[in-house]
Structure 1
């Protein structure tokens, strides 16, 4: 059950952000040396630190536990329930948040506190988030290096799997694990970064409906889609108490699914696996290797 809670938050964030994506705030026009920054989501905290701004961050939110320095910072609450009092008490000169936190943004602007509202629903959004924070804070050199590294990762995998037949894949992002049978499984749809990473890794999403942003399916639905591979994203490894053998057993209960018959059930356990920040691109080569083990991957070293 503990594993499911962070992913419930992730799903809520994705839904809210997508609904409000068209209302993203334009970047502030003037570069300023911001000294007291508050970040209101784990992905934004990670991005700000990756740009070398960690010494300027004075507070974060719950679940902002990367990098390690962020764990020592005070929290101003959760993503969905940040404390206006806690934020103002710290006297920030910049608060960086996601689209779903528009109400808090309006309150802060009324108090004269500068805000930057961003989106991170897609790969392009994640890259733009890096660039916009860098443009605002004068960290263009750091952003160039980071974006170049990300693009090199993408290009490497794309060139490696080019021309191969895509593997029909289901990407699970949340489900209860305290029973022998699978019940409802939240999966990657056609509108998120998991779907984009899957395509780049040489896979194709078995879920093709474009109307639902964060779909949930039953065991019967998975059987009907009949994926040839299943990737179960299982983040917060250090935090959950789930038995991975039990998780595999759940998937194996779907005996007629090709992925089960071919023993192509893969569980990815990384603390960054549900955080759409710079590290999410580390999933790309790992997914590609799982989907295409027939290729020679010795020329690429996965980062842990």
Structure 2
């Protein structure tokens, strides 16, 4: 029922534990697809050894164009109807995959389901809990946060270990954008929430190691991640219908409540002419 895809390159430090995490799920309906980018360390040897012991492990090793390309290869190889992406240094909570299979049995297609994710250090010390309970397009683009008791109630799911979706969703939105090396997951989620049945579960499913030396950590440390995300958001907003752009502009620039935003979305003729002019200008930038 479910295909877990793990892209990896020179990941001998984590690959064995990653394979074991899926094995320990004791899920009879899973296949684990490892897409190696031509590692020069012991990664492939470890994969071969585990694959010889466990038939649910499938793998390839060849040069690729980065993480997105590797995931796309995994999707093309996937034989099951549900997709999950597990990066080599991340891991699931106990019995998550059986829970996911149970949930999807009653969901319409295509669906995207999202749970909570523990964000931790390399040594698994908890930094915060990502609880992305608001998953509308406007919520994602505004990226609202509440920080209380080390719980970050952010719109964006921070890691794919905590979300799963129907493989058929890619027929509507395409595959992961290869050139979006740093924001490929954000690009995917923006498209996915508009083309699928989205449901949030207040359950912790994934664990995301956030530490120096990884692309996301290092990109955040330089501030470049904010630049990339802003560019992606601005490009995406231009593709939205006028009234959705109106909601986003109002929320960003005027201290309206969501109730007022909803009201004006239903009565666009009552928007002040000045705002209409600003929206036209904003849509062209």
Same fold per TM (> 0.5)?
no
Which bin holds the TM-score, normalised by the shorter protein?
under 0.3
Compare the two structures and name the one with the higher strand fraction.
2
TM-score, normalised to structure 1, is 0.25
Instruction: Give me the TM-score of the superposition, normalised by structure 2.
Output: 0.26
